[in-house]
Structure 1
Amino acid sequence: MRRALAGVVFGLALALAGCSPAGQGGRSGPGGTVDGGASGTAGTVTVFAAASLKTAFTDIAGKFEAANPGTGVALSFAGSADLVTQITQGAPADVFASADTRNMDKLKAQDLVAGQPGNFATNTLTIVVPPGNPARITGFGDLARSGVKVVACAGQVPCGAATKAIEQETGTTLTPVSEESSVTDVLGKVTSGEADAGLVYVTDARSAGSKVEEVRFPEAAKAINTYPLAAVKGARNKPAADAFVQFVLGPEGQAALAAAGFGKP
């Protein structure tokens, strides 16, 4: 059974962890430990993933569960920087998937990554505007025009770091009316009509469908984000964590990421 978690509620998560065996055989459900899947996995694997991965990882989780009967995937999506903070504070994650290498490196520096992270996808920024493009945005430079309400990610978030890199490369200074902690929050500001434009990933623009119009700009190639993932050191379900990582890196995981618009790593 897959649970999509909008965020991590520490008290509940820790309580559940306390009621579960901490060994590598997986967690017990209400009826005891479930039978392992084809890979010998069992129980629940908790995956902390960057917000931009929601569509792709929801698809991948379903495929992983089908390939591993008796193994469930609990997904928690947020900005990569927020997820790093949660993990360093003890949140019970088995796998971490980041939207950039910088945040993965933060976990590595604190000896919280098991093994070497694997790069599994790339993503590129694009501009999204409300239907009809009322502010007549045609490129990155237009985002600096007076009176244009732009929303971007905060600098510590991968999409925000990419935005800053493009600003430096182009000599353009943006003045966002809001800086968000995740790319999905930026998208929400545009779809709700609170902004004239937002900087999100091409995958987010695709998932939004007709709710937005996309304005691609060539300067985006100056800041392509590479996505790594790894099992978290001390994972409560190490066998399932390792299996999930390999599944994302394998043919089925890569096909789901490509379908969502991600580039190859």
Structure 2
Amino acid sequence: MKGAALGVLTGVLAGFCVACGAEDDTMVTVYAAASLSEAFEELAQQFEATHPEVDVRLSFAGSARLAAQITAGARADVFASADTVTMDRVVHAGRTADHPLVFARNRLALAVPAHNPADVSGLADLTDDSLVVAVCAPEVPCGALAEAVLDDAGLAVDADTEETSVRAVLTKVALGEADAGLVYATDIAAGGNRVAEVSLGPSGFRTDYPIAPVSDQSRAADFVDFVTGPAGADILRRHGFETP
């Protein structure tokens, strides 16, 4: 992006950066779920290529954290969440400028470090107390989905760490600090050869990703239209997302 993209924000740093909203129609500030990082970096680049007068500033974090920042008054132009429940909080707070649209879908997946040193073979193994298991916190979309998957399987898993974003879980697994973690399928793809996927079988546990303009700035609506349009869908599918 022509404007320096903001990386995954954590802790106090996120609080300092969230007020960097757009003041005119030459900049669009986009708050997006951490699992959208690579896809939205490409989307922003392509949007800027067709709108050379516009800078797209990207801020990535867990959806729940971003929603809390927006409802508290942080200046953003667009919000893309990893589930509809979190988006609904922003809608109910009166902080969206138009109705959210579902633009992508993802599925939960079980990630292990490359070569699977703990020999994890499925969800049931996560009940083994000798394993270090990482999940998202329950208020984060990937954490809520993980709870649903484990409940459906009748498994009681005492996770060793609950992270504020799905990329934090992926990092724990990739570094070998966790033997397994529940993330999204697209995160495993983004992890490259640092992680591997253990099949959960024909799981129907998927999450819808909605997007909405937060400000009434015209470029915010243009960016949403681009993401939800054919060009945006092509980019999202290349990054492993399903599209409506």
Q: Is residue 126–residue 220 contact of structure 1 (8 Å, CA) maintained in 2?
A: no
Among residues 184, 207, 216, which one is paired with 1:201 in the alignment? 184
Matched residue, 1:164: 147
- Structure 2 unaligned segments of length 5 or more: list them: none
AA partner of residue 71 (structure 2):
T
What is the percentage of aligned positions where both structures have the same residue?
44
What TM-score does the superposition give when structure 1 sets the normalisation length? 0.86
**What's the C-alpha RMSD, in Å, of the aligned pairs?**
1.6
**Gap change, CA 1:10 and 1:128, over 3 Å in 2:** closer
**Code of the aligned partner of 1:55:** E
What corresponds to 1:243 in structure 2?
222
2:124: which partner in 1?
141
Answer yes or no: is 1:228 the counterpart of 2:210: yes
Q: CA deviation at 1:96?
A: 0.2
The aligned counterpart of 1:37 is none
Cα 1:150/1:13, change in 2 over 3 Å: closer
Return the match for 2:27 from 16, 26, 44. 44
* Cα displacement string for residues 170-210 of structure 1 (whole angstroms, at most 9, x for unaligned residues): 11111111000000000110111111011111100001110
1:260 aligns with 2:242: no
C-alpha separation in 2, matches of 1:69 and 1:180: 37
2:49 is the alignment partner of 1:70: no
In structure 2, the CA distance between the partners of 1:167 and 1:13, relative to structure 1 (3 Å rule), is closer
Q: 1:175 to 1:79 in 2, by over 3 A?
A: same
The partner residue of 2:65 within 77, 82, 86 is 82
Distance, in Å, in 2 between the alignment partners of 1:111 and 1:162 is: 26
The one of 152, 173, 188 aligned to 1:190: 173
Give the aligned partner of residue 110 of structure 1.
93
| Secondary structure at 2:98 match in 1 | strand
Judging changes above 3 Å, is the alpha-carbon distance between structure 1 residues 197 and 67 closer, same or farther for their aligned structure 2 residues?
same
Aligned length in residues: 239
Contact 1:150–1:196 at 8 Å: present in 2 too? yes
* Equivalent-residue separation in structure 2 for 1:254 and 1:100 (angstroms): 18
Structure 1 residues 105-150: Cα deviation after superposition (integer angstroms, max 9, x where no partner): 0011111111210100000011111122111111111111231111
Separation in structure 2 between the aligned mates of residue 9 and residue 119 of structure 1, nearest angstrom:
26
Distance across 2 between alignment mates of 1:13 and 1:110: 18
How far does residue 155 in structure 1 lie from its aligned partner after superposition?
A: 0.3
Quick check: 2:18–2:69 contact (8 Å CA) kept in 1?
no
Cα deviation for residue 264 of structure 1 reads 1.7
Equivalents in 2 of 1:259, 1:12: separation in Å? 29
Task: Summarize deviations over 1:11-41 as a string: whole Å, max 9, x none.
Answer: 5664x66xx75xxxx2xxxxxxxxxxxxxxx
The aligned counterpart of 1:33 is none
On the 8 A contact 1:170/1:219 being kept in 2, the answer is no
Deviation at 1:2, TM superposition (A): 2.9
Taking the aligned partners of 1:87 and 1:220, their CA distance within structure 2 comes to 33
Distance 2:17 2:207 in 1: 33
Alpha-carbon offset, residue 4 of structure 1: 1.5
Shift of 1:91: 1.1
Give the number of the structure whose alpha-carbon radius of gyration is greater.
Answer: 1
State the shift of 1:3 in Å. 2.2
* Counterpart-to-counterpart distance in 2, 1:150 and 1:211: 17
**Residue 181 of structure 1: aligned partner:** 164
Q: Matched residue of 1:115: which SS? A: coil
Q: For 1:63 and 1:115, how far apart are their aligned partners in 2? A: 23
1:121 alignment partner AA: A
Please report how far the alpha carbon of residue 84 of structure 1 lies from its aligned counterpart in structure 2 after TM superposition. Answer: 0.6
| 1:45 and 1:240 in contact (8 A); partners too | yes
